[in-house]
Amino acid sequence: MSHVDLIIPERAVQIRQFMVGRLLPFRQKRMVGPFIYIDHMGPVALPSGANIDIGPHPHIGLSTLTFLFEGSIMHRDSIGTVQEIKPGEVNWMTAGKGISHSERTPDYQRDQNKRMHGLQIWVAMPKHLEQSTPSFTHTEAHELPVWQNEAGVQFRLIAGKANGYESPVPVHSPLYLLEIKSTSQQHIELGDWLFGESGLYILEGNITCDNHLFEPKQVLVCSEPKLCGFEMAANTTVYLFGGEPFAEERHIDWNFVSSEPALIDEAKQQWLNGTFPMIEGESEPIPYPVRKQQ
C-alpha cells in the first residue's frame, strides 16, 4: 500500500478464557471507515473438554461479522437465532437498539480435539440506523463472490462491494472486506476499487510497499486508497477492509457502540438491572466489567 499512514501491531488481549490479537480500536486510530473493532482469534488447538464459552452479552449500535478460517462456533441470540458457523461462512448480526448473544463450541465438538482460528469484527452503524430493529443473517461460503486475476491471485469478497462484485451480506453503509491470496510473488494494484479509508491486515506471508517489508500481525492504514499498491510474497494472505467514515464520532463502552453517549448509558443500565433483551434457554450472562471506559 503506497503512502501508508499508520502501522497498527496486533496486541494480545484476554477475552474470557481465550487470548486474541486486538487490531482495532487503536489509540492513534479508533476506526478505519466504519470498522470499529477487529480481533484475530487463534490459531489455537483446543483439546477435548476445552471449549469456547462466551456467555450472553449485549450490543447496541453495531453489526458483528464473524469469519472463521478453522473451527466452528454456535451462535445464539435474543431474537431467537441458533446458527452454527463454519470456515468460509459469514455470520452478520445487527444489534441496532439492542441484542444479546452467546458464542460457544457446538455440543458435538465439546468432547473432541479441535482448532479455532478466525476474525471477529464490529462495524458501526450509520447514525440514523443505530436504533433500528435487531436482525441476523447467515451467508454460506458458496454465496460469496470469488474471482482471480490473470496472474492467478485469488479474491473473495466477504462483505460490501469491490471490483464490480457485491457480497450478499446486508451491510448498512459503503464498505468492503476482501480476502486476497497469492501462491506466487505478485504486484497488486487496487486503487480503482477502493474508497474512503483502507486497512490491510497481513494474516500470513508478507508484503512490500514503499521499499518496506511488512510481516504478519500488522495492519497498514491508508487514508488515500486510490494510491493503494503493494507486492505480495508467495503464499501470502491479506484482508483488505475499509469504506466511508462517518461524520460523527463513535463512542465505545464495553460492547456498546453509539454516536450518542446517552444511548450507551441507557443500555448499560438495562444490562445491569436485567431488563436488556435476553436469550431464551441461556444462563450466566457476562457481567458489566468494572473498568475504565475506552
Per-residue model confidence (pLDDT) at position 236: 96
156-182 pLDDT, tens per residue?
A: 999 999 999 999 999 999 999 999 999
Predicted confidence band at 1 (pLDDT cuts at 50, 70, 90)? very low
Residue 252 in any domain: the answer is: no
Residue 155 in any domain: the answer is: yes
Per-residue model confidence (pLDDT) at position 294: 45
Q: Which residue range forms the structural domain that includes residue 121? A: 6-243
Is 60 exceeded by the pLDDT of residue 292?
A: no
Residue 264 in any domain: the answer is: no
Question: How many structural domains are present in the chain?
Answer: 1
36-45 pLDDT, tens per residue?
A: 988 888 888 9
Residue 168 in any domain: the answer is: yes
Q: Which of 174, 212, 207 is nearest to 193 (CA)?
A: 174
Average pLDDT of the chain to the nearest whole number: 88
Q: How far apart are CA 41 and CA 69, in angstroms?
A: 10
Higher confidence at residue 98 or residue 281? 98
Residue 276 in any domain: the answer is: no
141-153 pLDDT, tens per residue?
A: 999 999 999 889 9
Which domain CATH number covers 164?
Answer: 2.60.120.10
Q: Which residues, 6 or more positions from 293, have their beta carbon under 8 angstroms from its beta carbon?
A: 252, 253
Give the pLDDT mean for 254-282: 96
Residue 267 in any domain: the answer is: no
Cross-strand pairs, 260? none
At 155, which helix (H) or strand (E)?
Answer: strand 154-162
Is 60 exceeded by the pLDDT of residue 233?
A: yes
pTM: 0.90
Residue 256 in any domain: the answer is: no
Residue 197 in any domain: the answer is: yes
Q: How far apart are CA 274 and CA 288, in angstroms?
A: 11
